[in-house]
Amino acid sequence: MLNHENSHTIFNNARNLIPGGVNSPARAFGAVGGEPIVFDRGEGAYLYDVDGNKYVDYVQSWGPMILGHAHPRVIAAIQAAAVKGTSFGAPTLLENTLAQMVIDTVPSIEKIRFVNSGTEATMSAIRLARGFTGRKKIIKFIGNYHGHVDSLLVAAGSSAATLGVPNSPGVTEGTIQDTILLPYNNVEALKNAFHSAGKEIAAAIVEPVAGNMGCVVGSSNFLYELRHLTQENGAVLIFDEVMSGWRVGKSGAGARFSLVPDITTLGKVIGGGLPVGAYGGRADIMDNILPKGKVFQAGTLSGNPLAMAAGVATLRVLNESDPFAAIERKAAMLAEGLEDAARDAKIPAAIEQIGSMMTLFFLTEQDNKIDQHRMSGTTFNGGIVERSTATSSTGGCFSSKITDWESASRCDTNRYANFFWNMLDRGFYFPCSQFETFFMSAVITEKEINQTIDAAAEVFKLLSL
Ligand SMILES: *Cc1c(COP(=O)(O)O)cnc(C)c1O
């Protein structure tokens, strides 16, 4: 067992100062039991805790750190911005630079506004959609997470699901009465909802690749119908790509699936590890935001120069090095290795992977018997791509076993907790919940991947005893 003495002391003190000892519940280890690790520093593919233990990091701050920790160019950009002053509450050139980079990368975004978190981005996008359409109702999918926005904090995946509080105390019935909840990847339910309330719907918000019930890919049928029905009914389609942006490919899930949402919300990678969110899309919709339009949205620190500098540096490195195909190849290598190792140890499991996002789902015996037919095709509209072609830019590797929150929530969370602690003990930091996504990065090499697969093979054998 690794020594976690310093982590233990620091976390114990934190508990007296901060509710639950953490500033975000996702990091509390509640779903796996035990106490969080307290980190001292990160470098490249590795994290170092306060007891001197070293881990290969597959959490990557829950998504942002696609270039690894403390990337020299990102750090240099933050330092250069900092010496010029940390905040002015006034325009800077860096905001234009990052805006232009995002607009050049994500085809559906014509204009963009920066905020400070993904939560702010989705909250503002919903308000904008309601202001733009003059309608009240929004569609949200079960198991999708869009931050802790009141009207979206129902059936909200990971943290909320993990803690068993799909409806948080403090979120009033009045707040969520205009939220229509639908199952993910279910075309029938979608059609019914639009049939009965189509002209009252201001917006549908969706994670086109869900990352907050574990990684679950939106099916082409489902996303296509969603685009079609929103358009037909004059509702705004919001793709929440706070996690999937730059993760399922450089231009996000919308571009990869050849679908054009009206608004896209972003965060995580675009901040390069600093607090940034953004929402952008059709200019005629975006122009409804104050001061150009009447929909109120503001932020003292929005477009903060340090955050913009980190984002610009991150996207610049990504543009220059174009690591996406290589990252995806490594992600498929890890996914395949974990799946084979689980099979060898007779542990029922399904891996969902697309781009640099993936989840290892531990299945119950019963779910494992469901026929696992992988569909194949070379484009997304052809559906789902076979593992052997997972290195192609349109590929991905997913089974038909986990398609929505219903199927995800049946997974064996005890077995996941066991896997998590045993991997941690061997120096591999995975997310502390079955219902979270883990990530490949530009700096994890085949060496670390092989070490991870070997360690996992050992752990699966222990789990099967
Ligand atoms: C992380 C996440 C959010 C919330 O972003 P925060 O910066 O944590 O507020 C919203 N939507 C999705 C899809 C996310 O993954």
Q: Are residues 137 and 241 both part of a single domain?
A: yes
| Ligand 1 atom at minimum distance from 147 CA | 4
**How many distinct structural domains can be found in the chain?**
2
Nearest CA to ligand 1 atom 10: 146
Does residue 317 share a domain with residue 330? no
Residues 296 and 328 grouped into a single domain: no
pLDDT surpassing 70 at residue 165: no
236 and 342 in a single domain? The answer is no
Higher per-residue confidence, 163 vs 365: 365
- CA of 360 relative to ligand 1 center, distance in Å: 21
Does the global pTM surpass 0.75? yes
Of 24, 149, 212, the residue with max ligand 1 atoms within 8 A of its CB, to mutate for a pocket test, comes to 212
Q: What's the pLDDT tens digit per position in 30-39?
A: 999 999 999 9
CA distance 388 to 376: 10
Rounded to whole angstroms, the Cα distance separating 197 from 18 reads 43
| Cβ atoms of residues 8 and 35 within 8 Å | yes
Atom of ligand 1 nearest to the CA of 117: 7
3-class secondary structure for 118-174? Answer: HHHHHHHHHHHHHHHHCCCEEEEECCCCCCCCHHHCCCCCHHHHHCCCCCCCCCCHH
Query: Mean per-residue pLDDT for 131-148?
Result: 96
* Cα 267 to middle of ligand 1, angstroms: 7
CA 85 / ligand 1 centre spacing (Å): 28
Which of 321, 356, 390 delimits the end of a domain? 321
First to last CA, the chain: 19
Residues 312 and 370 in one domain: no
Q: Is 207 in the pocket of ligand 1 (CB under 6 A)?
A: yes
What pLDDT score was predicted for residue 310? 98
Asked about 145 being catalytic, the answer comes back as yes
Q: What are 41's strand-pairing partners?
A: 48
pLDDT in tens, 65-118: 999 999 999 999 999 999 999 999 999 999 999 999 999 999 999 999 999 999
Q: What are phi and psi of 49, to 5 degrees?
A: -90, 175
Q: Is the domain of 44 the same as that of 143?
A: no
Q: Are residues 304 and 373 in the same domain?
A: no
Which atom of ligand 1 is the closest one to the Cα of 275? 7
Q: Determine the pLDDT at residue 344.
A: 97
pLDDT tier, 155 (very low <50, low <70, confident <90, very high otherwise): confident
Residue 378 pLDDT greater than 50, yes or no:
no
pLDDT digits (tens, 9 = 90+) for 242-273: 999 999 999 999 999 999 999 999 999 999 99
Q: What is the mean pLDDT of residues 154-182?
A: 71
Handedness of CA 390, 395, 399, 404 (dihedral sign): positive
Residues 181 and 290 in one domain: yes
Q: Is the CB of 394 under 6 A from ligand 1?
A: no
Is the per-residue pLDDT at 157 higher than 70? no
| 192 lies in the same domain as 303 | yes
Is residue 117 within 6 Å of ligand 1 at its C-beta?
yes
Question: Which residue has the CA at smallest separation from atom 15 of ligand 1?
Answer: 243
370 pLDDT band (50/70/90 cuts)?
low
Q: Can you give the CATH number for the domain in which 287 is found?
A: 3.40.640.10
Give the separation between CA 362 and CA 436, rounded to whole angstroms: 13
Residue 334 Cβ inside 6 Å of ligand 1? The answer reads no
Q: Are residues 186 and 265 in the same domain?
A: yes
On whether both 421 and 311 belong to a single domain, the answer is no
Strand 349-354 versus strand 357-362 pairing type: antiparallel
Q: Which domain holds residue 457?
A: 5-68+324-463
Cα dist from 105 to 172, 245, 396, 419, whole Å: 39, 10, 21, 37
What average pLDDT is seen over the chain? 91
Same domain as 271, residue 369: no
pLDDT tens digits, one per residue of 47-70? 999 999 999 999 999 999 999 999
